[in-house]
Chains A and B, each alone.
Chain A
């Protein structure tokens, strides 16, 4: 398919375990965003990549959260020592151009990974 894909779709982790969530953006898209969506809330920004560079990680809630995009395509969001408050849907989005350009560019979202920490 040509859309953004994420895996796994569902992940159950025991408190204290490390998890890795994968995002495959649309081919050729420069920008990649990670969002966290708690139950009943809108998505909240976590971090932003322009190609392989992580230009903004201001939304990462703690140093247990780490993201990478080493070759400027696939990205991985890693959460170490998961806590119950990490339970949420993690959404990845990509867009064709860089974040700073004001235009009608859309962010195309993946289906998300639902993380449940028990």
Chain B
């Protein structure tokens, strides 16, 4: 069963506008962590933001914020004031908190964001 679902294969946004990238997850753990990574064409995965399952406040890092809705098991990434350099693949990932795979990251299939000038 797919544990991380990103339903938007591709998204377009106008420069300077905000965009939301969707992510839903599936886990029976009480403790887990959610991450967003950016992967430009160079291939390197760049950490953007983290949300712990027990964190009550939504995480924010500069222009990035994570809209965490625990009951709906969603962890959407919001990018404000998009820049041309934001064009890249974006991956949502979950770190499970128990079991033999504790600590491993499970990634979604990604969303390709294109920022238009």
Contact = CB atoms under 8 A, between A and B. Distances in A.
Contacts of B50: 104, 106
B33 A102 contact: yes
Contacts of B105: 33, 35, 43, 45, 107
A22 B110 CA distance: 26
A111 B42 contact: yes
B23 to A, nearest CB: 11
Contact of B44 (A40, A102, A111): A111
A98 B102 CA distance: 11
Contacts, number: 67
B115 to A, nearest CB: 20
The dominant DSSP class at the A interface is loop
Contact of B43 (A33, A89, A93, A99): A89
A55 to B, nearest CB: 9
Interface residues of B, number: 28
Interface residues of A, number: 31
A44 interface: yes
B47 A114 contact: no
Contacts of B46: 109
Nearest to A45: B104
Given A42-B91, A42-B109, A104-B33, A99 B102 contact: yes
A89 B43 CA distance: 9
Interface of A: 31, 33, 35, 40-45, 48, 56, 58-59, 89, 91, 93, 98-104, 106-112, 114
9 contacts: A42-B109, A42-B110, A100-B103, A102-B33, A103-B52, A106-B50, A107-B105, A108-B47, A109-B46
Interface of B: 4, 31, 33, 35, 37, 42-47, 50, 52, 91, 93, 95, 97, 100-110
